[in-house]
């Protein structure tokens, strides 16, 4: 049977690269994002998904369960870099809802399915694309890194809870990646030495393809040009 992998935030950047990589390796991909019109990848289906919206997540999850999904990759996320004095409640909610609630809702919607799979002797996986800043911060980072600290905490708590039903949980922590992140354009000259979306997709792929007795807890990866910061 083909492996079935659900990917949130699959319309561009890391998520799209991952959908292409997974499909090329023979998996069936169920990709979700708000803007999926015109997307086409052999071996992938794209569904409209807003990870902050419960009914939208429920519809996405129903299709995933129907297809017998093996793994969920929570990749959807937004960036926002403001000093504390400029953070509005609206911007707080947009970033926290997308990055934190947007990780919780798709996961929550599939836990019953993952537990049922465990009862049938099948393991499942959740891979959360957080950030290298899920455990450090900087000026202007309150909101974004705060959301990523929280997403990391959700990831760790899920790993504890999921252990009972054989769920393998992985945190992928990329540094700077050349995508559309934070409203920039992909391919801009100043990002020439940054990670490529494929670099991060390969890290996810690694976590998803290790032998069943092995759990990859975390992968931290940076472009060489990025300062060493731990
Ligand atoms: O960014 P981008 P990345 N519901 O903007 C989707 C993390 N990261 O690939 O809905 C559903 O090219 C959006 O689709 P759409 C970052 O925090 C990055 O770099 O159509 N989907 C698009 O497909 C994030 O968690 C860097 O607008 C929603 C995707 O998310 C992950 O990498 C560094 C959505 C974003 O594509 C992927 O971001 C780092 C919603 N409500 C961590 N809102 C970096 N690039 O430097 C957004 O440390 N999306």
Tokens 């960036």 belong to which residue? 79
**Using one digit for the tens of pLDDT, what is the confidence trace for 46-101?**
999 999 999 999 999 999 999 999 999 999 999 999 999 999 999 999 999 999 99
Q: Is residue 97 part of a domain?
A: yes
> Looking at residue 141, which CATH number applies to its domain?
3.40.50.720
CA distance 206 to 60: 25
Q: pLDDT at residue 229 above 90?
A: no
Q: Is residue 114 part of a domain?
A: yes
> What total number of domains does the chain contain?
1
Q: pLDDT at residue 112 above 90?
A: yes
Q: pLDDT at residue 230 above 90?
A: no
Instruction: Indicate the pTM of the whole model.
Output: 0.98
Res 57: pLDDT:
99
CA distance 108 to 163: 15
208 closest CA partner among 125, 140, 129: 125
Q: Does residue 3 have its Cβ closer than 6 Å to ligand 1? A: no
Residue 160's SS3 state is helix
**Residues found in the chain:** 230
User: In the numeric block, which tokens belong to residue 225?
Assistant: 């040009």
Report the mean per-residue pLDDT for the chain: 97
Q: Does residue 178 have its Cβ closer than 6 Å to ligand 1? A: no
Number of the ligand 1 atom closest to the C-alpha atom of 182: 5
Which ranges of 180-228 does DSSP label H, i.e. alpha helix?
Answer: 197-209
Number of the ligand 1 atom closest to the C-alpha atom of 50: 4
User: Hey, whose CA ends up nearest to atom 41 of ligand 1?
Assistant: 50
Q: Is residue 228 part of a domain?
A: no
The secondary structure of 35-47 as a DSSP string is --TT---TTEEEE
Q: Is residue 226 part of a domain?
A: no
- Residue 62 host element (H or E): helix 54-66
**Using one digit for the tens of pLDDT, what is the confidence trace for 124-153?**
999 999 999 999 999 999 999 999 999 999
Q: Does residue 52 have its Cβ closer than 6 Å to ligand 1? A: yes
Q: Which residues pair with 220 in a beta bridge?
A: 173
Q: Is residue 30 part of a domain?
A: yes
- Domain span at residue 140 reads 4-221
User: Hey, whose CA ends up nearest to atom 8 of ligand 1?
Assistant: 131
Res 1: pLDDT:
84
Is the ipTM value over 0.90, yes or no? yes
Q: Which residues are catalytic?
A: 144
Please say whether the beta carbons of 6 and 71 come within 8 A.
yes
Distance 171 CA to ligand 1 centre (A): 15
User: Hey, whose CA ends up nearest to atom 17 of ligand 1?
Assistant: 77
User: In the numeric block, which tokens belong to residue 130?
Assistant: 């957080």
Number of the ligand 1 atom closest to the C-alpha atom of 173: 48
**Using one digit for the tens of pLDDT, what is the confidence trace for 152-188?**
999 999 999 999 999 999 999 999 999 999 888 999 9
């Amino acid at each position: 049977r083909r492996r079935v992998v659900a990917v949130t935030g699959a319309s561009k950047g890391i998520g799209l690269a991952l959908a292409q990589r997974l499909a090329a390796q023979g998996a069936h991909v169920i990709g979700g994002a708000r803007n999926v019109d015109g997307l086409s990848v052999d071996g992938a289906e794209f569904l409209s998904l807003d990870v902050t919206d419960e009914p939208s997540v429920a519809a996405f999850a129903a299709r995933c369960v129907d297809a017998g999904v093996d793994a969920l990759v929570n990749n959807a996320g937004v960036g926002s870099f403001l000093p504390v004095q400029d953070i509005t409640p609206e911007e707080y909610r947009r970033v926290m809802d997308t990055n934190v609630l947007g990780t919780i809702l798709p996961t929550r919607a599939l836990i019953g399915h993952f537990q049922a799979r465990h009862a049938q002797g099948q393991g499942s996986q959740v891979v959360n694309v957080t950030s290298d800043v899920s455990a450090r911060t900087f000026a202007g980072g309150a909101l974004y890194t705060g959301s990523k600290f929280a997403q990391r905490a959700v990831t760790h708590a899920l790993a504890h809870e999921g252990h009972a039903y054989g769920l393998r949980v992985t945190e992928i922590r990329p540094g700077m990646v050349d995508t559309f992140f934070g409203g920039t354009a992909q391919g801009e000259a100043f990002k020439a030495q940054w990670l490529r979306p494929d670099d991060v997709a390969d890290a996810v792929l690694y976590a998803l393809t290790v032998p069943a007795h092995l759990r990859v807890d975390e992968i931290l990866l940076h472009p060489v040009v990025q300062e060493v910061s731990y």
